[in-house]
A and B are shown apart, each in its own frame.
Chain A
Amino acid sequence: MKSAFTVLFAALAVAAGIQTALAHHSSAGFSEGTKVVAGTVKEFQFRNPHSWIQINVTDESGKVTEWSVEWGSPNQLGRDGIRPSTFPAGTQITIKLRPDLSGHPIGIFVGAKMSDGKIVGKWSDE
């Protein structure tokens, strides 16, 4: 049941992920490849025109960097099952994103893996 839910949720969110192409800007500044970062959700801004997932990532030296991960609009994501409660503050998550080419801690959302293994968006490379 859980796996069925996960697949369904992932499928819906993949559809939602397509909407990342609706960012205000060209995709020229973002890598075609993906990067994985793990951290703690600081805030999920479920607002127009685009949602943002803020996560604090701690490196080996203990330095904390806040990443800004851009996603679709609440109207689009809401119809695909995403809610403001999807990424509660304080939750440990791993996010796959298309990183900003200039090296700033910014990315376009691809997928997320929750601590219980639940997938949101696209995680596999298939």
Chain B
Amino acid sequence: MTTRFVTGLALFASFLMAPARSYPQTPTLTPFDKLPDWSGTWAMTGGTVFDRATQTGKGGTIDPGVREHPPYNAVYEKKYAEHLKLRDADRYPDVQTNCGVPSGFPRILNLPDAYEFVVRPDVFYIIAENGGNTMRVYTDGRKLPGKEDTWGTYTGVSVGHWEGDTLVWQTVGLKGDRDNDSILDRTGLVLSDEAKITTRLRKIDAQTLEAQMAIEDPKALTKTWNVTKQFKKGKPGLFLYDYGCAENNRNPVDPATGQTHTLGSDGKLIK
């Protein structure tokens, strides 16, 4: 009896002395057989204008006159207008032209080429063929880190959960336009480092995934900005490839002027 009491006391003491774990102490994992089937490959529908619902002007993101109308405050509307002016003058190169930075979020849901959406009980992965971009959404019950524990990254930090067959996640910790190297599309749309995005991703029919994003940004927006993107399922057996942007980049950018140059096949400057 005494031995059992001492053993129990020792176990209780070790429990009390155990260091706090960052991993969730009560995992709320949804088992594989309860998760939706999002296998295969997918491709975003439409072009890369991020918010086509508010687009004015004809064409795509690089065409003069095309713009979107997010609920920007005056400061960010002015900033966007400056980007558009530069775009129209061919002086607003895509920040990815240096082939070195990720697309980030939410732009990772606004890319050409193919996607894979990998569903696991503990984590959800977005794998974009374009740029070789990856995003992780943790679904293991952990909480979002506090502001002091994020420092601004291209894709931020995302934590989600399942509501039936809908994955709902929140993203914080985005760097936004802090370093002028993270955009939403080539018109020059940006968010600030205070953006918080709630995304709901679900299959609306056998061939279509839909992402509804509610974007809040007290520094840049006057109200919530709602944007929807859709993805169509690819043909069975489609191969995905790597995308080495630096492989043969013949459009280097002059950082001083923003001018995009063109190199010849011999690597020498044409213009």
Contacts and interface: CB of A to CB of B under 8 A. Distances in A.
Interface in B221-269: 238, 240-241, 243-245, 247-251, 253, 260, 262, 264-265
A69 to B, nearest CB: 11
A49 B249 contact: yes
Contact of B250 (A26, A27, A52, A76): A52
Contact of B62 (A21, A70, A73, A75): A21
Interface string A14-48: 00001101111111110000000000001101011
Chain B interface SS verdict (over half): loop
Contacts, number: 105
A102 interface: yes
Chain A binding surface, main DSSP class: mixed
B62 to A, nearest CB: 5
B6 to A, nearest CB: 66
Nearest to B263: A68
Contacts of A100: 262, 271
Contacts of B90: 25-26, 28-29
Nearest to B251: A24
Interface string A92-126: 00000000101011100000000000000000000
Contacts of A70: 250
Nearest to B271: A104
A54 B265 contact: yes
Nearest to A106: B262
A18 B241 CA distance: 20
B220 to A, nearest CB: 23
Interface of B: 47-48, 59-64, 87-94, 96-97, 99, 112-114, 129-130, 186, 238, 240-241, 243-245, 247-251, 253, 260, 262, 264-265, 270-271
Interface of A: 18-19, 21-29, 42-43, 45, 47-50, 52, 54, 66, 68, 70, 73-76, 78-79, 100, 102, 104-106
Given A26-B260, A49-B245, A50-B248, 8 more contacts: A23-B62, A24-B94, A25-B93, A29-B90, A45-B265, A68-B265, A75-B113, A78-B241
